[in-house]
């Protein structure tokens, strides 16, 4: 692999595994590789490390360890929560969620629709916020579960889960939140959040990929999604991913301690990055609310250029950022999140997400800012839609933009048909 430095601004896609986490995990790959369900000591001794990791992950969200079910990822946790609600109440066949959830939810809910379930995808406001009254009105007698994310992975916008769970309780409906983006960035307390289910994924908090957890509130009925052995107290079959679970436990401990760094130093870096871009590069816009937002995320629209072109040029410099989420990269479709916020296809396709983390330094931000204006300027100089194009006095630029929007909208419409 290359020795070149990476300037990593994609912490909402995944995070570097913390050295402390690697260190905690190694003994469980090298020496203590027994099966925690085995009766002999070589296996059984491992079980107590799984349990102490469970206690740490529980502490991160102020839950009881018995409320923590380890899964393979955030996607599985989300699927499992919704699946459980539907299987447990066969008469209730309606799910309420939002149009801006992670594809782990959006695509699962679309699958459910094909299987005859009904799903309401709540729209969002232009700043990415949710109309709580609309949410309340969308709950029906046959609604099994409301699943709304705590923080959006593309914009960082926060949803008021306390209020949402209170509405759910008053209507006797289960409530799930995808909190994958939040550990280390905000304090988490399942008691005050008031939800029945909450999902986390370890690779978003400096632990390895392939391990997640679902919080299942005590006395909330749960139907397993992965069915097999009696692991996880009968709530999730499959031999425990011991090393990853131990790593998750250590990462949970670290995340509790990084909340203040994220909210002071990292927030300061994010704000400097965002404010400098918005104030020094013309025709740029922030996507999403300014205040009700994670401290590490900024999503910026660079008008008249393609985000993909910006990302390619950044990549040549070793800078990692993204458009939309990692899970939708590769498709030319504009982000479903930005589209739901009402951005035109052209603006959505000109938007870049920078997500910072505890390993970012002020020098990283300087490096990015040093190159950003030139990259955007160079691309605009060859974009016929841009006021910076040298020949733009020779044609009607407004008409060119309108035609481009219409072409994009038509191409999207044809794809959907």
CB 162 within 8 Å of CB 193:
yes
For tokens 């109440």, the residue is 89
Cα atoms in the Cβ-side hemisphere of radius 13 Å centred on 227: 6
Q: Which residues ranging from 55 to 84 are in contact with ligand PLP (CB under 6 A)? A: 73-75
* Residues touching ligand PLP, count (CB under 6 A): 15
Q: Which of 60, 119, 149, 352 binds ligand PLP (CB under 6 A)?
A: 149
Q: How far apart are CA 195 and CA 216, in angstroms?
A: 9
Q: Pick the closer one to ligand PLP by CB: 201 or 284.
A: 201
Q: Which of 53, 109, 175, 180 binds ligand PLP (CB under 6 A)?
A: 180
Work out how close the CB of 381 gets to ligand PLP at its nearest, in angstroms, rounded to a whole number.
35
Element (H, E) at 362: helix 362-381
Work out how close the CB of 258 gets to ligand PLP at its nearest, in angstroms, rounded to a whole number.
17
CB 93 within 8 Å of CB 142:
yes
Q: Which of 67, 178, 274, 388 binds ligand PLP (CB under 6 A)?
A: 178
**C-alpha R_g of the chain:** 23
Work out how close the CB of 182 gets to ligand PLP at its nearest, in angstroms, rounded to a whole number.
9
Q: Which of 79, 181, 299, 328 binds ligand PLP (CB under 6 A)?
A: 181
Distances (CA, A) of 281 to 284, 303, 399, 415: 6, 10, 24, 34
Q: How far apart are CA 25 and CA 251, in angstroms?
A: 11
For tokens 């709580």, the residue is 132
Q: Are strands 7-8 and 212-216 parallel, antiparallel or unpaired?
A: unpaired
Site string for ligand PLP, 103-142 (x = CB under 6 A): -x--------------------------------------
Q: Which residue is catalytic, options 73, 109, 168, 327?
A: 327
DSSP 282: S
Q: Pick the closer one to ligand PLP by CB: 14 or 37.
A: 14
Q: Pick the closer one to ligand PLP by CB: 103 or 276.
A: 103
Work out how close the CB of 72 gets to ligand PLP at its nearest, in angstroms, rounded to a whole number.
8
DSSP 79-144: HHHHHHHHHH-TT--EEEEETTS-HHHHHHHHHHHHTT-EEEEE---TTS---HHHHHHH--TTEE
Q: Which residues ranging from 207 to 236 are in contact with ligand PLP (CB under 6 A)? A: 212
Instruction: State the virtual CA torsion across 74, 75, 80, 85 in degrees, nearest 10.
Output: 100
CB 29 within 8 Å of CB 17:
no
Q: Pick the closer one to ligand PLP by CB: 165 or 201.
A: 201
Q: Which residues ranging from 185 to 204 are in contact with ligand PLP (CB under 6 A)? A: 201, 203-204
DSSP 155: T
Binding segment for ligand PLP (CB under 6 A), chosen from 19-27, 174-182, 242-250, 253-261, is 174-182
Q: Pick the closer one to ligand PLP by CB: 74 or 288.
A: 74
Cβ-closest position to ligand PLP: 74
If binding is defined by CB under 6 A, does position 102 make contact with ligand PLP? yes
Work out how close the CB of 199 gets to ligand PLP at its nearest, in angstroms, rounded to a whole number.
7
Which of left, alpha, beta for 206 (phi over 0: left; psi -120 to 50: alpha)?
Answer: left
Work out how close the CB of 14 gets to ligand PLP at its nearest, in angstroms, rounded to a whole number.
8
Work out how close the CB of 44 gets to ligand PLP at its nearest, in angstroms, rounded to a whole number.
29
Distances (CA, A) of 238 to 12, 179, 190, 343: 28, 24, 26, 43
327 is catalytic: yes
Work out how close the CB of 74 gets to ligand PLP at its nearest, in angstroms, rounded to a whole number.
3
Q: Pick the closer one to ligand PLP by CB: 49 or 176.
A: 176
Catalytic residues: 327
Binding site for ligand PLP (CB under 6 A): 12, 73-75, 102, 104, 149, 153, 178, 180-181, 201, 203-204, 212
């Amino acid at each position: 692999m290359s020795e070149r430095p990476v300037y990593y601004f994609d912490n909402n896609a995944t995070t570097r595994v913390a050295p402390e986490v690697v260190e905690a995990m190694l003994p469980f790959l090298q020496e203590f590789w027994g099966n925690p369900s085995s009766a002999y000591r070589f296996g059984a001794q491992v079980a107590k490390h799984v349990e102490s990791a469970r206690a740490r992950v529980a502490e991160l969200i102020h839950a009881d360890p018995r409320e923590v079910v380890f899964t393979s990822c955030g996607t599985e946790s989300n699927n499992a929560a919704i699946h459980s609600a539907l299987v447990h109440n066969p008469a209730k066949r309606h799910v309420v969620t939002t149009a801006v959830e992670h594809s782990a939810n959006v695509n699962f809910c679309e699958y459910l629709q094909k299987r005859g379930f009904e799903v309401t995808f709540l729209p969002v406001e232009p700043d990415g916020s949710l109309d709580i009254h609309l949410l309340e009105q969308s709950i029906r007698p046959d609604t099994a579960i409301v699943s709304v994310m705590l923080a959006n992975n593309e914009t960082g916008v926060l949803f008021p889960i306390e209020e949402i769970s209170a509405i759910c309780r008053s209507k006797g409906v289960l409530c799930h939140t995808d909190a994958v983006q939040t550990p280390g960035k905000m304090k988490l307390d399942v008691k005050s959040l008031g939800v029945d289910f909450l999902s986390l994924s370890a690779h978003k908090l400096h632990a390895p990929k392939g391990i997640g957890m679902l919080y299942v509130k005590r006395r909330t009925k749960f139907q397993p999604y992965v069915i097999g052995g009696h692991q996880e107290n009968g709530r999730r079959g499959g031999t425990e991913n011991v090393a990853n679970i131990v790593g998750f436990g250590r990462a949970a401990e670290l995340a509790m301690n990084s909340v203040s760094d994220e909210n002071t130093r990292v927030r300061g870096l994010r704000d400097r990055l965002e404010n400098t871009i918005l104030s020094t590069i013309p025709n740029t816009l922030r996507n999403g609310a300014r205040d009700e937002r994670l401290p590490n995320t900024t999503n910026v629209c660079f008008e008249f250029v393609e985000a993909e072109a910006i990302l390619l040029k950044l990549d040549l410099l070793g800078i990692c950022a993204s458009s939309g989420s990692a899970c939708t990269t590769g498709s030319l479709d504009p982000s479903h999140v930005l589209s739901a916020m009402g951005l035109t296809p052209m603006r959505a396709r000109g938007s870049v997400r920078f997500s910072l983390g505890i390993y970012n330094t002020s020098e990283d931000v300087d490096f990015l800012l040093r190159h950003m204006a030139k990259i955007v300027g160079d691309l605009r100089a060859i974009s016929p839609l841009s006021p910076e194009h040298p020949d733009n006095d020779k044609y009607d630029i407004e008409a060119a933009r309108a035609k481009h929007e219409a072409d994009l909208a038509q191409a999207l419409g044809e794809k959907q048909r």
